[in-house]
Structure 1
Amino acid sequence: MAVQGIIRVAINGYGVIGKRVADAVAVQKDMALAGVADIATDWRPRAALHKGYSLYGATSEHAASMRAAGLDVSGTLDDLLEAADIVVDCTPKHLASKNIEIYRRLGIKYIVHGGETHESTGHSFVAEANYASAVGRDGTRVVSCNTTSIIRTLSALKRHGLLDRARGTLLRRATDPWESHQGGIMNTLVPEPEIPSHQGPDAQSVDPDLDVVTMAVKVPETLAHLHYWSVQLTREASKDEVLDAFRTSSRIALIRISDGLSAINSVKELMADLGRPHDSLYEVALWEDMLKVQGNELFYAYMVDNQAIVVPETIDAIRALTGAEPDAETSIRDTNDSLGIGSLGL
């Protein structure tokens, strides 16, 4: 761990996830943002400089082109890594797994995200499920947004001895809002070609004992994902008992249609009204008044903000890998407090 108990964090890739992780690191009492590395010369790195973040080019060539574009560049990725204790790789899918070779060669701890395979690190992370197994490791993979939501919800049921098996249908947003003008889908639905879709097996990389099958379809919207779940319980249970199980996760927010939160756009608007950075919904937003229990069968739906849900997990993974905080509950509480998680006021 770093001198004086402060973890120096490097961010490689200042995109959708990278900028959100950088902002989250900046408000942690036990962390300092060493800087962010990227290749872009447009408005995105300029926003980083506006926030006072040190900017680095991914290579010397990229640093030169960034300087030519008028950006104040502090050096290259290698320079940034020398000034850090851990790097969070937020580069595009499949690039991070190649960067792992660099991190291992330099002996720096590293975090990648769900676009990479479990095999790239040998460990997949969700704080409430397997924090302890990440403590002191060289690297881990914070699983995807959808997989994070699956582990949070099913683990809550499992801790209460209620989970037998789970089957989920995922309505996946087509693209990120900021680039929806460049692509996505319109006037159609695109099913994933295989059942199970990849999220179920991915959840089993965190908890191999889960009996879970997922199906997914891409839909023409950009706000968030929507999940529908049918769960076989181990026994008959009441709705209140199931809700109490979900309440044990600080990162599941129970919302109600009766409060006007009847669609994903209204939930996002609530995040804006609460002043969340980037309108971020860090929690799984689960509709409690829609939830239905029939004997030993459970049915529910929830919303996943794919740009935000992995941010608190990444902060916890930083503490776990560096050994700065060996206790999961303490790290989760500190992260939650710093990001306002659990304060929807509903």
Structure 2
Amino acid sequence: MTTGKTRVAVNGYGVIGKRVAEAIILQDDMELAGVADITADWRMQVAGGKGFRIYAGRPDASAEMTASGVEVAGNLDELLANADVVVDCTPKKVAAANIETYRKMGRKFILQGGEKHDATGHSFVAECSYESALGREATRVVSCNTTSIVRTLSALKRVGLLHKARGTLLRRATDPWESHLGGIMNTLVPEAEIPSHQGPDAQTVDPELDVVTMAVKVPQTLSHLHYWNVELTRTAVKEEVLDAFRASSRIAMVRIDRGLAALNTVKEWMLDIGRPHGDLYEVAIWEDMLKVDGNELYYAYMVDNQAIVIPETIDAIRALAGTERNGQASMARTDAALGIGRLSRQPTSQ
């Protein structure tokens, strides 16, 4: 019996995949068809404990998963047969190899930012490219850093303030749960080229952006930190820049003078207000650090690499499925389900 809801498969149950799956079940117009992976470790035990149907991402994974106590509902093809859209959250470069399977099964698919723009021919940030994704076979939700760049610069562009932007990114070395396996210690690693890849990647969403980025990996794992210098189209005052940022539900203003002075304190705030996994879905801009000097703007913000793309992925599902034609309406539904846009009511923001 059909429910009328979009049935979504999640292939890859890692840092992003588990968050996407949890977000899907909060949407009133979607249902989780199941999750696929090839691992037999604790992550699958947790997924099973949540009541998710688990599928083997490769034929050779099923026996090991079953032996470890994971109840396997079937293989990837069987999961896809019961889905309208598949969100691929497998590791970088693995997803590109899965495209042939998705196309063979006639399934719409969403890739994550680790894949190239050419893999789908479309890059997604809800505030900018929702309508152009409607009914497409596939899209790519851009990376966490690229998402933050497009969100913030687009907020300025919408009010006619953006001329060009230059940013420096301090990138976390690895995901927190894998920090015992690798990453960097007692050093900084500059990205080898200028611009770093995030600037050109932002232009796959909006080719009109005049943006250059530089990046360096730093020995921490909580989030990314961005510093931006923007040349505005005209002389402006701080309050109109803040109003431009505040107009986006997915940008949150935070203040150093209210105790949110570092990445770890913002993360602790997210845990204290009950966000799942302590996730910060918004870009957190330091309001009291932001400065406008004539037609120059300087600001810094935090990007939660594990969380920022989750609402974008939910909106991308609706766009591909064509169940909501209006991007702002989709964002409102996603925001309501995930609790986005409520940070302004916290005592840390004016």
Above 0.5 in TM-score? yes
Q: CA RMSD in A?
A: 0.8
- Counting only pairs closer than 5 Å after superposition, residues 20-35 of structure 1 correspond to structure 2 as 20-35=19-34
Aligned: 1:9 with 2:4: no
More displaced 10-residue stretch of structure 1: 94-103 or 148-157: 94-103
Which residue is equivalent to 2:326?
A: 327
* Inter-partner Cα distance in structure 1 for 2:3 and 2:75: 26
Which residue is equivalent to 1:237?
A: 236
Aligned: 1:198 with 2:192: no
- Contact conserved, 1:5 with 1:324, CA < 8 A, in 2? no
* Inter-partner Cα distance in structure 1 for 2:258 and 2:314: 31
Aligned: 1:42 with 2:41: yes
- Name the aligned partner's letter for residue 109 of structure 1: K
- Name the aligned partner's letter for residue 268 of structure 1: K
* Inter-partner Cα distance in structure 1 for 2:23 and 2:198: 26
Count, aligned residues: 345
* Inter-partner Cα distance in structure 2 for 1:266 and 1:59: 40
TM superposition shift of 1:59: 2.1
SS in 2 for 1:200: helix
For structure 1, the residue ranges without an aligned partner over 5 or more in a row are: none
TM superposition shift of 1:168: 0.1
TM superposition shift of 1:83: 0.7
* Inter-partner Cα distance in structure 2 for 1:63 and 1:28: 30
* Inter-partner Cα distance in structure 2 for 1:44 and 1:163: 43
TM superposition shift of 1:5: 2.6
TM superposition shift of 1:343: 1.2
- Counting only pairs closer than 5 Å after superposition, residues 58-137 of structure 1 correspond to structure 2 as 58-137=57-136
TM superposition shift of 1:60: 2.2
Which residue is equivalent to 1:163?
A: 162
- Counting only pairs closer than 5 Å after superposition, residues 171-190 of structure 1 correspond to structure 2 as 171-190=170-189
Aligned: 1:285 with 2:284: yes
Which residue is equivalent to 2:339?
A: 340
- Name the aligned partner's letter for residue 343 of structure 1: R
For structure 2, the residue ranges without an aligned partner over 5 or more in a row are: none
More displaced 10-residue stretch of structure 1: 247-256 or 64-73: 64-73
More displaced 10-residue stretch of structure 1: 304-313 or 69-78: 69-78
TM superposition shift of 1:4: 3.8
Which residue is equivalent to 1:299?
A: 298
- Counting only pairs closer than 5 Å after superposition, residues 249-288 of structure 1 correspond to structure 2 as 249-288=248-287
- Counting only pairs closer than 5 Å after superposition, residues 205-224 of structure 1 correspond to structure 2 as 205-224=204-223
Deviation string 1:215-247 (CA, Å, 9 cap, x unpaired) is 000000000000000000000000000000011
More displaced 10-residue stretch of structure 1: 150-159 or 59-68: 59-68
SS in 1 for 2:72: coil
Percentage of identical aligned residues: 69
Which residue is equivalent to 2:246?
A: 247
TM superposition shift of 1:27: 0.6
Deviation above 2 Å: which 4+ runs of structure 1? 2-5
